[in-house]
C-alpha cells in the first residue's frame, strides 16, 4: 500500500462493493480520495480504517445517520464519549424493541401452528386467523362465470 489502494482493493480489503464505496463517498461518510494522474481514485490507510468502521457499524444495524454522527464525533479525539454512548444506548433500545416484537411474533406463530389439526383447508386455523374479521379466506367472493368455469375444471 505504498502509494495507496484502488477502489477495488479497498473493496476487497473491507468486503464492500465498489458501488457501496462510491455511495459512502457521495453521502459524506468517506472523504474524497486523492486521484492519480490518470484520474483513478487512490485510497489511504485512513480510508481503509474508516470504511472498516462503517461496515462494522452497519453490520450491527446502525443507521447511516448514526454512523455519520459517530464518525463526526470520532474526529474530535479529545471529546468525551457521552454522545457516542447515547447513540449506542438508543440503538440498543431499538434492537431490544425489535427482539420483543420478534418474540411476540414467534409466540403467535407457534400458537397458530399448534392449532393445526391437519384437516382440510376449510378447517385450517392458520388461514382463519389470518383472514380479516375471522371470515374464511375466499368466502363470499363474487366470481365471474369464466372464473367459476375455470375453477370447476
Helix (H) or strand (E) segment spanning residue 100? helix 82-115
The residues that bridge with 41 in the sheet, in sequence order, are 35
- pTM for this entry: 0.71
pLDDT-wise least confident of 61-70, 72-81, 115-124: 115-124
Mind listing the domains of the chain with CATH numbers?
1-62 (1.10.1660.10), 121-152 (no CATH)
The alpha carbon torsion through 85, 86, 91, 92 (nearest 10 deg) reads: 60
Check residue 105 and give left, alpha or beta (phi > 0: left; psi -120 to 50: alpha).
alpha
Give the pLDDT of residue 132: 78
pLDDT-wise least confident of 6-10, 26-30, 124-128: 124-128
Amino acid at each position: 500500500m505504498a502509494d495507496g489502494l484502488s477502489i477495488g482493493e479497498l473493496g476487497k480489503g473491507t468486503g464492500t462493493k465498489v458501488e457501496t464505496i462510491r455511495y459512502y463517498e457521495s453521502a459524506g461518510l468517506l472523504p474524497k480520495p486523492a486521484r492519480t494522474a490518470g484520474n483513478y481514485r487512490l485510497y489511504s490507510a485512513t480510508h481503509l480504517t474508516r470504511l472498516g468502521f462503517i461496515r462494522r457499524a452497519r453490520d450491527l444495524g446502525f443507521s447511516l445517520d448514526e454512523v455519520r454522527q459517530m464518525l463526526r464525533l470520532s474526529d474530535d479525539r479529545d471529546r468525551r464519549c457521552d454522545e457516542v454512548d447515547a447513540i449506542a444506548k438508543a440503538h440498543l433500545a431499538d434492537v431490544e424493541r425489535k427482539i420483543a416484537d420478534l418474540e411476540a411474533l414467534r409466540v403467535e406463530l407457534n400458537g397458530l401452528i399448534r392449532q393445526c389439526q391437519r384437516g382440510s383447508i376449510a378447517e385450517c386455523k392458520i388461514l382463519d386467523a389470518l383472514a380479516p374479521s375471522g371470515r374464511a379466506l375466499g368466502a363470499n367472493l363474487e366470481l365471474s362465470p369464466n372464473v367459476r368455469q375455470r375453477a370447476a375444471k
